[in-house]
Each structure stands twice: as structure tokens, then as C-alpha cells.
Chain A
């Protein structure tokens, strides 16, 4: 009983994830095709005396590492928040159609060749796509919709976005543009700059704040919508905060990295037992877990001795899809029992 007051187990998870994140960040900053000295790089940056090391550090490694952390955290947090909202461990950011709509927004930018004229058009297109998905979602589901309507609307939006993406690939004026879209859709953190970091930082932080603000209410929602409402939870506000939060965080993430799947599914599932299955407590640790996993995956694609750098979205899908299958088989067994 007194375990209710003790938060040692949860604190331990947070400390473990945070330490892993710090260690991986150091590794990610220092090692790659060329190994650099972090201390020397920092010194030369402070002394405004650029060296090759400091340029690699500042222009390549630091933005890439920061983006992995930001995007990984957004994906992990969004997965945990959505799973809490729909009370289903199989939910993930793709479910409300935000990921695919963000991808569509970016693809349209590719299609019209705007990305080469104005690089920032790409992330902006992604965020607009994600926000349009949310607006569509509200128009489709109305004010007092059930969770099922919400999910079906999400599936419909995803399908439409996927179809339009395929259409863009199909009608693409030149093979080069198709190839560019194709590669971008695979998801990657390579060749991104600080501009990308600054562009996605405000919507990402706002999205995180919206999602984290629901943590108490998500716990009460474990007992179903009616009980949660009777406990004082305002369901509509809860759903709005999560959907908008996911749109902002995942929309801006996808627009910079392309499609990176399964992090939002895998991470909350792995961490859940460590927070005593409380959906509210799961949020912060899933954000940290997502950052750790994406950073580790990004280091892996850089280290793997492939001829061309493996796309990070390909790696997460290769690892995530069997995991998804395992979850489905497990829940199927539970139903059978």
C-alpha cells in the first residue's frame, strides 16, 4: 500500500533513460566517418577559431544529434499519449492520419520543386499537412464523437494521404523528382542543419506541453470515458490537447525526417511495466525512451558497413514490424484464452 507513495521504480527508469541519452549523445557527437575530439571542438567554438573538428561538430553532428533527440521524443511521447487516449496498446501516431498527411505535405513541396528554391518549404509543408489532417479529423468526427469514429476517420485520412502521395509519385514530371520523394519517404536524419532544429523547435515544444498537460487525466481515463468524466475529466479538452499536440510534434518531426515508424508503438510498450502501467506516468519516460531509441538507431545506420547509408526509417521499420506482429499475436492469444 505504501508503494503508492514511493516513486522509486519510476525515478529509476527516468535516471536510466537519461543516462543512456547522455552517453549516446556523446557517442553520436564524437564518432562517425571521422572521429572528432569534443573538447577541442568546444574550445575552438568558444575561441571563434574554427577547425575541421569544430565545423563537423557544429554543422553536422550537433544538429543531427539534436534532431534525433527531438524527433525520437516526439514519436515516443505521441505514441504513449495516443495509446492512453484510445486505451489501446496498438495505437501509434499514424492512427489519426497525421504522419501520412505531414508526409503528403512535404511530398507536394517536392512535387512542385519548391524544396530546391526554398529549403524551408519542406518542413512548412509537413506542418501544414499535419494541421490540415487535424482540421479534417474534426470536420469528419464532429464535436461529440466516439473513439471508434475518431479512429475510422484517422484511417480514412491516412488512406487518402497515401493515395495522394502515390499520385504525386505517379505523375511526377521527372524521374529524379520521384527518386527524391521516394528516398525522403524512407526517413533519414542525414544532412540536416540547425535551421531544421530551430524551425521545428517551437511547434515541437508546444506539442509536448499539450500532451504532457493531460497526464493526470489519462490515468483516470484508464477506467473508461464515463468514469473519467464522473471523476471530473473533461474529455473533449483531453482529446483536443492530445490530437493537436500529436499534430504539432509528429507533423514537424515527419516534415524534417521523413517517415520514421514504429517508435511510437514500441517504446510505450517496453516502458509500460516500469511505470506500473499508469498511462500518465508513461508520457515523460516514453519521450526519453523515444529519444534514446532514435539516437541509437541513427548511430547504428552510421556505423553499419553498408555501401550507401541505410535510411533510419528502413531500420526502424525492419525492427518495428516484427515487434508489431509479436504484439498482435500476443493479444490474439489473450483473446483466445
Chain B
């Protein structure tokens, strides 16, 4: 399943949020969308999910424009995890995860396949101990993992996640990034918006750097997260190093 954007431009009330963005997302990779606040990362993710219409250009899934796809069919192929983890009723954890099966149309007659997908997603997101509890009583981090499990339960080919690790403690940040990486290695295309540059460097295979609605550059983490790019785009000086044969980066000070 190939996903790419062709000359995406998004304009909202005369302001250009994204300008002529063309990216090819490689199948089976963990891809990070990075850039400072207001760069257009979340908008790009919403365009990919079909939640935000592009003013110009198209998102193509297997060369088919996603706006031409039937909503349920699209939802089966693309799962989207938004930044906010809203749940308006005190639903239990497993019922929230089950909602991820909505596109498969078997929600009210829970099939064995759905049950299996839900159990698998709960195990992958490490929330087995939360089963039975209402989501509104969970901490922010626990809730974030429940919502991740919900997105996983769809078993889509493409997973889009907007800052999925923002409210997690370091152990769970590492766990979730490792999980996303392993999902990518199993053939899923995983696209995440990230601010944690050290984890982007360590876990992503491809990074897309955005700034002011423009694509600055894309490529492997070591090619994107360079001293020059971090200074020019983020306005920070960073420290670089190597540990156990892997590169790391640490934003250090205001330039």
C-alpha cells in the first residue's frame, strides 16, 4: 500500500498553512513529521487522514485520491490518532478499544476476529491491567495508550498519530516508539508527528522537516537532524553523539 501527497496546499482564511507539499511515504517505515510549532505538521496529518480538505493537490493511496474513497473503506485502511484524547462518556477501556473496529462494521455483533484484534491491541499498548476501568478515571498517559490501542485495533495498513507520546513517562515513550517501529517492520506505514527529536533520531526511518508550511527537507534522521537544520528551523544549538553504535541528539540551548 503506497501513500503519497502530490502538491498539497492548504489555505485557511487567506493564510497558507501548507504550501505545495509532495512527499512519498515509504511502505513499512516509521516516518516522523517534525518541525517547530505552527509548521503545519498536524494539518498535514489531518490532510493525510482525509479530515482536512486540501485547497490544491491530492493525497493518493495506491494512486487513488483518498477523497474518492468511501468513508468506511478509507477508515479501514487509514487509522488516525488525534492529539486530544477525548471520550465524552465514561466508557470502559475495552469498549473504547472496540470502537477501533467501527470501520469493519461488526461493532454490534462483536465477531471473534474483532475480539482478537482488541485483545492484541490491548496487549501491544500494554494496558491489560486497565481493562474494566472507565477511561475518564485514567491518568493522561494511561488514556493516551488506550487511545493508541483503539487506533491499533482497526488493523489498518496506515497509522497516523499526532504526538502519540507527549503525555507519557520515559519508559512508555520508549515502549510506544519501539512498538510503532515494530509495527512498521511488520509492513505498516506509520506516520507520527513528534517534538521529541532524540526519539525521532533513534526510532524513525524517515523524517520530514516542516517549517512555516513548507517542506524544508526529508530523508534519514542523520541527514535531517543536522546542526545547520536545527539552528535554522528550530533556532537551537544541539549536542550530537553516539551510543552503542546509534546516533543521538539533544537540543541544548537557544541559538
Residues of A in contact with B (beta carbons under 8 Å apart): 1-5, 87-88, 215-216, 219-224, 226-227, 229-234, 272, 276-280
Q: Which of A4, A232, A234, A278 contacts B103 (CB 8 A)?
A: A232
- B141 CB to closest chain A CB (Å) equals 18
With A4-B115, A220-B99, A227-B80 as known contacts, state yes or no: A232 contacts B74, CB within 8 Å.
Answer: yes
A4 and B91 CA atoms in complex are apart in Å by 12
Q: Find residues 14-40 in chain B having any chain A CB closer than 8 Å to their own CB.
A: none
- A287 CB to closest chain B CB (Å) equals 17
The answer to whether A229 touches B51, judged by C-beta atoms less than 8 angstroms apart, is yes
The answer to whether A230 touches B79, judged by C-beta atoms less than 8 angstroms apart, is yes
Top 8 A-B residue pairs of the complex, sorted by shortest distance between their CB atoms: A232-B75, A230-B80, A87-B88, A232-B72, A224-B86, A277-B89, A231-B102, A232-B71
A280 contact set on B, CB distance < 8 A: 108
Annotate B112-149 by CB proximity to A: 1 below 8 A, 0 otherwise.
00010011001000000001001000000000000100
With A4-B118, A230-B75 as known contacts, state yes or no: A220 contacts B95, CB within 8 Å.
Answer: no
A231 contact set on B, CB distance < 8 A: 75, 99-100, 102-103, 154
B87 contact set on A, CB distance < 8 A: 222-224
Name the residue on A nearest B112 (C-beta).
A5
With A4-B95, A231-B103 as known contacts, state yes or no: A224 contacts B51, CB within 8 Å.
Answer: no
Residues of B in contact with A (beta carbons under 8 Å apart): 46, 49-51, 71-76, 78-80, 82, 84, 86-92, 94-96, 98-100, 102-103, 105, 107-108, 110, 115, 118-119, 122, 131, 134, 147, 150, 154
Q: Which of B71, B73, B84, B99 contacts A222 (CB 8 A)?
A: B99
The answer to whether A278 touches B91, judged by C-beta atoms less than 8 angstroms apart, is yes
Q: Which of A215, A233, A272 contacts B71 (CB 8 A)?
A: A233
A222 and B98 CA atoms in complex are apart in Å by 12
The answer to whether B88 touches A222, judged by C-beta atoms less than 8 angstroms apart, is yes
Q: Which of A1, A2, A230 contacts B51 (CB 8 A)?
A: A230
Q: Which of A216, A224, A279 contacts B107 (CB 8 A)?
A: A216
Name the residue on B nearest A87 (C-beta).
B88
The answer to whether B118 touches A216, judged by C-beta atoms less than 8 angstroms apart, is no
A321 and B147 CA atoms in complex are apart in Å by 37
The answer to whether B102 touches A1, judged by C-beta atoms less than 8 angstroms apart, is no
Name the residue on B nearest A215 (C-beta).
B108
The answer to whether B88 touches A1, judged by C-beta atoms less than 8 angstroms apart, is no
B82 contact set on A, CB distance < 8 A: 224, 226-227, 230
A280 and B107 CA atoms in complex are apart in Å by 11
A220 and B105 CA atoms in complex are apart in Å by 11
Jot down 6 A-B pairs with beta carbons below 8 A, ordered by A. A4-B98, A219-B102, A220-B102, A231-B102, A272-B89, A276-B91
B98 contact set on A, CB distance < 8 A: 4
B75 contact set on A, CB distance < 8 A: 230-232
The answer to whether B102 touches A232, judged by C-beta atoms less than 8 angstroms apart, is yes
- A223 CB to closest chain B CB (Å) equals 6
A229 and B80 CA atoms in complex are apart in Å by 10
Name the residue on A nearest B106 (C-beta).
A216
A229 and B79 CA atoms in complex are apart in Å by 11
A4 and B84 CA atoms in complex are apart in Å by 25
A224 contact set on B, CB distance < 8 A: 82, 84, 86-88
Q: Which of A4, A88, A233, A276 contacts B102 (CB 8 A)?
A: A233
A232 and B147 CA atoms in complex are apart in Å by 17
The answer to whether B99 touches A219, judged by C-beta atoms less than 8 angstroms apart, is yes
B96 contact set on A, CB distance < 8 A: 222-223
If A1-B118, A88-B88, A216-B105 are given as contacts, then 17 extra A-B residue pairs at C-beta distance below 8 Å, sorted by A number, are: A1-B115, A1-B119, A4-B94, A216-B108, A223-B150, A226-B80, A229-B50, A229-B71, A230-B49, A230-B79, A231-B75, A232-B74, A277-B89, A277-B91, A278-B89, A278-B91, A280-B108
The answer to whether B115 touches A5, judged by C-beta atoms less than 8 angstroms apart, is yes
- B31 CB to closest chain A CB (Å) equals 18
Chain B CB within 10 Å — which of A232, A276, A279 has the most? A232
B86 contact set on A, CB distance < 8 A: 223-224, 227
- A258 CB to closest chain B CB (Å) equals 32
A229 contact set on B, CB distance < 8 A: 50-51, 71
The answer to whether A278 touches B95, judged by C-beta atoms less than 8 angstroms apart, is yes
A1 and B76 CA atoms in complex are apart in Å by 23
- B100 CB to closest chain A CB (Å) equals 8
- A10 CB to closest chain B CB (Å) equals 11
B107 contact set on A, CB distance < 8 A: 216, 219
B51 contact set on A, CB distance < 8 A: 226, 229-230
- B42 CB to closest chain A CB (Å) equals 11
A166 and B145 CA atoms in complex are apart in Å by 54
- B77 CB to closest chain A CB (Å) equals 10
A1 and B50 CA atoms in complex are apart in Å by 32
A3 and B118 CA atoms in complex are apart in Å by 13
